[in-house]
Structure 1
Amino acid sequence: MAGESTGRGEPDRTLRLLWRAHLGEPTGSRGPKQRSSVDEVVNAAVQLADDEGIDAVSMRRIADRLGLKPMSVYTYVPGKAELIDLMVDQVAGERSLPPLEGTLRERLTRIARLQWNEFVQHPWLLSIDTSRPPLGPNVSDHWEWCLRAIDGLGLSDLDMDRVINLLLGYVGGPAGAYVDAERLHASSDETDLEWWERNAPLLDEIMDAARYPVSGRVGQAAGEAYQSASDPADAFEFGLARVIDGIEGYIAASGRPGATSTAAS
């Protein structure tokens, strides 16, 4: 279960902070004369979350990184609820959104891989509940970009929302498995192959081939292919292709043209 959620801050203050580039930088009403900026506070929070996880993010830790007094951080951001929204929106804008070119499959693949890269670079995003997404400029631009990738295919507006949510929702599973595997590799001197070899003698004794004929055969094939119990990156690519197969099939079965059509950038 996610430990942090977006959309918990006071709406007016949060939206004004998210859209500060359009509305103007908020001015603090208390504390010492400002020595930093909202952007610097958010940057410090993102870096802290990247280094140590979202649970490490606190106003005091951010103040330490910026050389500020803890209470002065509140002159930039009212609290952690608003800060989480700002962090999510900021990382959503780190990568430029590529042109929406190519077939439907190519466009959907591009969307999914951009989301994958965001999760891998900022693993703490996987622990954030975005049921109420931060409606900032970067999140809004990203959502518009995703929807435009499937606009004009004959899908209803509701189905467009469903298709993009299906695609983005899928990415989190294999991305989480990949991040977990990378953490394990970073914390252990033992490779996956060495782990399997160490466990193999006892497994040969307790895994009766007559009781587990199918899993034994499949496990051997997977182990030889991956040199590990699994390969999250491979699982992502395989699953993504099947998800897109389903989306294309849904459009075709509904009699809607354009399942493999190209779109203008």
Structure 2
Amino acid sequence: MSTSKKDYKRITTKSLVEMKKNGEKIAMLTAYDFTMAKIVENAGIDIILVGDSASNVMAGHETTLPITLDQMIYHASSVVRASERSLVVVDLPFGSYQGNSRSALDSAIRIMKESGGHAVKLEGGSEIKESISRILTAGIPVMGHLGLTPQSIYKFGTYTVRAKEEEEAEKLKEDALLLEDLGCFALVLEKVPAKLAKEVAQSVSIPVIGIGAGNGVDGQVLVTHDMLGMTHEFHPRFLRRYLDLYVEMTGAFENYISDVKSRDFPNDNEQY
């Protein structure tokens, strides 16, 4: 299998399938605002996920459940304005697609029309197949999400690793094949055993993006604020911190406060 990297001017759903076929790993990060999205975009990211994790990261909620469709559209619109190459995938928030396929389609259409996003992501398998099918009939690309699905946290009762038991692992494998058959262009596997994730990735032709799912999948996704060390209290095994911005930013803020208090800022060269 080739591992050569093709220079894509714009990442599309077709590009991602080609990347999997060519053995090129897919890099995906979150963004919720224009400034962060512009930095991530300029670094060369393949996919920007406007995740419902904005509920935690941006708004301080304990779970992803409180964020609304209007809020997701606001965040997505900001990110889309920064995107020139990357594919922008937007989470459908809790309550906007479960149990009613017509509502699911309406929600997806609103995201596509009002934010300019390129695709939507939904959590779940066979339970939401009608919603996925209806969205796809409108020509809207869908990314699936299996394993730990944070919108169902109160059902699971914990953020622990999913599909360790055979019954749940079999359902996950069946759901992955179902999502591919329905027409999803990719899927996220969150917090599942690496061996199982690799097996799933090899069983489907669509890209599988992992978070806490080992290195046998087709790509990886992290929450940008986590990998930058801004959310310093979050320490899952799968997270690699590439910076410690919490410490760096705290130091910068303390220096600013000190300079203001001591009247060192602004100096003669920093005023008109």
Same fold (TM over 0.5): no
Shorter chain as denominator, the TM-score bin is under 0.3
TM-score (norm 2): 0.27
Would you tell me which structure has more strand in proportion to its own residues?
A: 2
TM-score (norm 1): 0.27
- Max Rg structure: 1
